[in-house]
């Protein structure tokens, strides 16, 4: 099958999407609200470029942040009849390049990838004589990843961490520096690199070798980068090295969905992209996912906080349900009854999701769903570790998805329940600064924009009602 015609490609798009597809010759930054068809727009742009002769698929690199998104992009391109575009996660693309160029630049093979950084951190903590507290290894691994994503050298860590509000429970900034140094020594002793070193290694070979830079310049001439609101400093640096001064660079994202700031994400790379590269700024506002009842709440949440005003294109749905409960157990039981009711009305279990802020909120939900015999498809490590995941779904059925709000980014379901919407959980009790609270607001926005038709909001009033509903809910026109 050949590439679809340019006319057929454009016929499937709305006016905003067509502008993204048809504007060529300058770098482009697209702010795309949730449910506005950004994946359709960027795949159509690649297909239209191929159909109109403005793009060579073999010279195009489409960068995503999950393997699932990369596969979806490849599938959609195949549907347009376009083959040859490299659609990869940023780490996958960097890994291939580092493995290819490292021996040519440094005369040795690229070190092996460390299977699990926490396996090295356990002995590090023991050597430093620290008590092993729950979550310590995970928190240290996250902090080490942040230093690499943000190009933070160990000696600069104490000052920069204090300015950024970084905290590793029970450790001083100097102790974190000691842990980083010990971790790097242990890793080098094993001849390993870790996941975030991949980006550093790829950038190093390109910057160290003019020949490597020339080969990449010849290999790729067209670039699309998805989820650009979550780009980190090292990722931005690497993409700049790949693209150089080329004009055909299209980045897409939504600052209102920046939910990985603690891991180094900087939405400024998206919002400042057009000005920095002398390019165009476009937006996608027409939402095809959520009912008007749901969009009313989402728009209200972000109205004064930098979000696009989404224009609804979906059919009206049922009223949003708002259900406080006396205890977490009662909240889980009432939620389960709601899911059963939806199943009885004809929804498949796979079309439902339960989303929460913290991993610790999973256990009462797991118990309630298990007691009711509901199938569960967990994309949250907390449930998987508890042994209730995809391998235990009902025979022949997919299950209800029990994920964190972070893990739900980029997904959609017909019915979504947001649970635990109370002060101390969302916003989290550790969210003290204005930036922290803005992060929490965006996290709720991601949750509100996941469902298509059915949305249920709930929280429990524990401790004699001292923990009230989230302050964010008080701003919304709740039914």
- In this prediction, residues 75-96 reach a mean pLDDT of 95
* Cα→Cα distances 103→106, 201, 423, Å: 5, 12, 53
Q: For residue 382, what pLDDT is reported?
A: 43
Q: For residue 154, what pLDDT is reported?
A: 84
Q: What percent of the chain has pLDDT over 70?
A: 94
Q: In whole angstroms, what is the distance from residue 213 CA to residue 101 CA? A: 10
Burial of residue 169 (CB within 10 Å: 0-12, 13-18, 19+) is exposed
Question: What does 398-436 look like in DSSP terms, one character per residue?
Answer: --BEEEETTTTTT--EEEEEE---BTBBTTBTT--SHHH
Q: For residue 396, what pLDDT is reported?
A: 42
Q: In whole angstroms, what is the distance from residue 385 CA to residue 382 CA? A: 5
Q: For residue 379, what pLDDT is reported?
A: 67
Q: For residue 355, what pLDDT is reported?
A: 96
- In the chain, how many H helices and how many E strands? 20, 15
| Enclosing H/E stretch for 445 | helix 434-448
Provide the pLDDT confidence category of residue 1 given band limits of 50, 70 and 90: low
CA atoms within 13 Å, Cβ hemisphere of 235 = 29
pLDDT in tens, 175-228: 999 999 999 999 999 999 999 999 999 999 999 999 999 999 899 999 999 999
Beta bridge partners of 192: 112
Q: How many CB atoms lie within 10 A of CB 326?
A: 11
pLDDT in tens, 9-27: 999 999 999 999 999 999 9
Q: How many CB atoms lie within 10 A of CB 395?
A: 5
Q: For residue 115, what pLDDT is reported?
A: 82
Q: For residue 26, give both structure tokens.
A: 């300058």
* C-alpha torsion 42→236→430→364, nearest 10: 40
Q: In whole angstroms, what is the distance from residue 201 CA to residue 214 CA? A: 17
Q: What are phi and psi of 254, to 5 degrees?
A: -145, 110
pTM reported for the whole predicted model: 0.90
- In this prediction, residues 406-419 reach a mean pLDDT of 95
* C-alpha torsion 158→163→166→172, nearest 10: 30
Closest CA to 91 of 116, 118, 113: 113
Q: For residue 408, what pLDDT is reported?
A: 93
Q: In whole angstroms, what is the distance from residue 104 CA to residue 108 CA? A: 8
Closest CA to 154 of 175, 133, 134, 139: 175
Mean pLDDT of the chain: 90
pLDDT in tens, 383-398: 433 333 333 333 345 8
- CATH architecture for segment(s) 292-475: 3-Layer(aba) Sandwich (3.40)
Q: For residue 205, give both structure tokens.
A: 């070979």
- In this prediction, residues 48-67 reach a mean pLDDT of 94
pLDDT in tens, 431-464: 888 988 999 999 999 999 999 999 999 998 865 4
Instruction: Supply the angle between the helices 233-243 and 136-149 in degrees, to the nearest 10.
Output: 40
Q: In whole angstroms, what is the distance from residue 265 CA to residue 259 CA? A: 8
For residue 149, pLDDT over 70 is answered with: yes
Same fold, 6-94+198-284 and 115-194: no
Question: What does 160-187 look like in DSSP terms, one character per residue?
Answer: HHHHHT---TT--HHHHHHHHHHHHHHH
For residue 402, pLDDT over 90 is answered with: no
Q: In whole angstroms, what is the distance from residue 362 CA to residue 359 CA? A: 6
Topology adopted by domain 6-94+198-284: Rossmann fold (3.40.50)
Eight-state DSSP code of residue 26: S
**Beta pairing, strands 112-113 & 280-284:** unpaired
- In this prediction, residues 131-160 reach a mean pLDDT of 89
pLDDT in tens, 99-108: 999 999 999 9
413 near 402, Cβ under 8 Å?
Answer: no
Q: For residue 466, what pLDDT is reported?
A: 52
Q: For residue 386, what pLDDT is reported?
A: 34
Q: For residue 418, give both structure tokens.
A: 């947001």
Domain ranges within the chain, ordered by starting residue: 6-94+198-284, 115-194, 292-475
- In this prediction, residues 281-292 reach a mean pLDDT of 97
Q: For residue 291, give both structure tokens.
A: 């009912």
CATH of domain 115-194: 1.10.10
Point out the least confidently predicted range of 128-132, 392-396, 420-424, 433-437. Answer: 392-396
């Amino acid at each position: 099958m050949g590439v679809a015609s340019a006319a057929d490609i454009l016929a499937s798009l709305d006016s905003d999407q067509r502008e993204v597809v048809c504007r060529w010759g300058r770098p482009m930054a697209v702010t795309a609200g949730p449910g506005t068809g950004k994946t359709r727009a960027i795949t159509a742009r690649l297909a239209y470029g191929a159909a109109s002769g403005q793009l060579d698929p073999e010279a195009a690199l489409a960068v995503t942040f999950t393997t699932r998104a990369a596969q979806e992009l490849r599938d959609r391109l195949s549907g347009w009849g376009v083959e040859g575009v490299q659609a990869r996660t940023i780490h996958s693309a960097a890994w291939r390049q580092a493995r290819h160029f490292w021996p040519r630049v440094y005369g040795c093979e690229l070190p092996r990838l460390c299977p699990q950084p926490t396996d090295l951190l356990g002995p590090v903590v023991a050597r430093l004589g620290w008590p092993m507290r729950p979550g310590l290894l995970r928190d240290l691994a996250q902090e080490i990843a942040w230093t690499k994503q943000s190009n933070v050298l160990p000696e600069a860590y104490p000052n920069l961490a204090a300015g950024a509000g970084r905290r590793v429970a029970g450790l001083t900034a100097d102790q974190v520096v000691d842990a980083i140094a010990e971790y790097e020594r242990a890793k080098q002793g094993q001849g390993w690199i870790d996941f975030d070193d991949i980006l550093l290694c790829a950038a190093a070979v390109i910057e160290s070798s003019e020949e490597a830079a020339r080969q990449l310049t010849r290999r790729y001439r067209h670039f699309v980068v998805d989820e650009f609101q979550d780009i980190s400093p090292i990722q931005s640096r690497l993409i700049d090295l790949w693209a150089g001064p080329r004009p055909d660079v299209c980045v897409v994202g939504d600052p209102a969905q920046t939910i990985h700031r603690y891991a180094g994400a900087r939405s400024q790379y998206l919002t400042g992209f057009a000005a920095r590269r002398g390019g165009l700024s476009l937006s996608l506002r027409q939402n095809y996912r959520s009912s008007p009842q749901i969009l009313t709440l989402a728009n209200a949440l972000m109205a004064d906080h930098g979000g696009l005003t989404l224009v609804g294109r979906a059919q009206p749905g049922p009223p949003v349900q708002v259900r406080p409960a006396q205890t977490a157990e009662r909240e889980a039981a009432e939620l389960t009854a709601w899911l059963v009711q939806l199943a009885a009305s004809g929804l498949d279990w796979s079309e439902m999701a339960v989303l929460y802020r913290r991993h610790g909120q999973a256990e009462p939900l797991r118990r309630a769903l298990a007691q009711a015999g509901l199938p569960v498809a967990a994309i949250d490590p907390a449930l998987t570790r508890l042994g209730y995941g995809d391998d235990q779904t009902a025979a022949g059925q997919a299950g209800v998805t029990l994920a964190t709000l972070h893990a739900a980014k980029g997904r959609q379901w017909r019915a979504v329940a947001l649970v635990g919407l109370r002060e101390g959980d969302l916003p989290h009790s550790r969210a003290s600064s204005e930036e922290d609270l803005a992060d929490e607001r965006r996290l709720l926005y991601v949750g509100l924009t996941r469902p298509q038709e059915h949305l249920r909001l709930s929280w429990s009033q524990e401790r004699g009602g001292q923990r009230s509903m989230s302050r964010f809910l008080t701003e919304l026109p709740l039914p």
